[in-house]
Amino acid sequence: MAVVVGYVATREGRAALRRAAEECELRHVKLIVINSQRGGKDFDADEALKFEEELDSIQRKLSHLGIEHEVRQLVRGNEPAEDLIQVAEEEDAEFIVIGLRRRTPVGKLILGSNAQRILLDAHCPVLAVKASRDA
């Protein structure tokens, strides 16, 4: 069993990663960190290097904490929701952890499309995490 977390280098992404790591420690299961990028002409080598360095840093932190983990950077043209759901199914995940960002009153009418798709289409429970205001 495993916990799958969607990670982007934002406050919300870091909050989701922290919570997912805590859950893995409690449950004694593997953490699978997914950074999903659509790729294409807008995804250049500098950007790829930046993401790779960020994911290497996460890998070192998780190793230091003694959490069994796997970090995957997926650049295969899928929407992040599609990648997270697919990995969760392949790994028979206990649940998926995603970060949610604060929205304006009008924005609250529509949840982010990736978050909404994960919440509605995932075959396992989804834990949605908000970043603290001071994080």
Looking at residue 46, what is its pLDDT? 74
The CATH topology of domain 2-130 is Rossmann fold (3.40.50)
From 23-27, 52-56, 125-129, the region with the lowest mean pLDDT: 52-56
Q: How far apart are CA 74 and CA 35, in angstroms?
A: 6
pLDDT band at 27 (very low <50, low <70, confident <90, very high): very high
% of the chain residues with pLDDT over 90:
61
- In this prediction, residues 14-43 reach a mean pLDDT of 88
User: What pLDDT sits at residue 70?
Assistant: 96
Q: Which two tokens stand for residue 12?
A: 């919300």
Among residues 110, 120, 65, which one has the least CA distance to residue 33? 65
Q: What is the dihedral of CA 38, 42, 48, 50, to 10 degrees?
A: -110
Q: With CA atoms as reference, report the closest residue to 70 among 93, 49, 47.
A: 93
The pLDDT tens digits for 36-78 are 887 655 666 677 777 788 899 999 999 999 999 999 988 878 8
Q: What's residue 40's pLDDT?
A: 57
| Per-residue confidence (pLDDT) for residue 41, from 0 to 100 | 58
- Give backbone dihedrals phi and psi of 84, rounded to 5 degrees, phi first: -65, -45
Domain ranges of the chain: 2-130
Quickly tell me which residue has 């043209």 as its tokens: 77
Query: What pLDDT digit, counting tens, does each position of 67-80 carry?
Result: 999 999 888 788 89
pLDDT greater than 90 at residue 97? yes
- The answer to whether residues 118 and 85 touch, using CB atoms and an 8 Å cutoff, is yes
Contacts of 96 (CB under 8 A, 6+ apart): 3, 4, 5, 6, 84, 85, 88, 118, 122, 124, 125, 126, 127
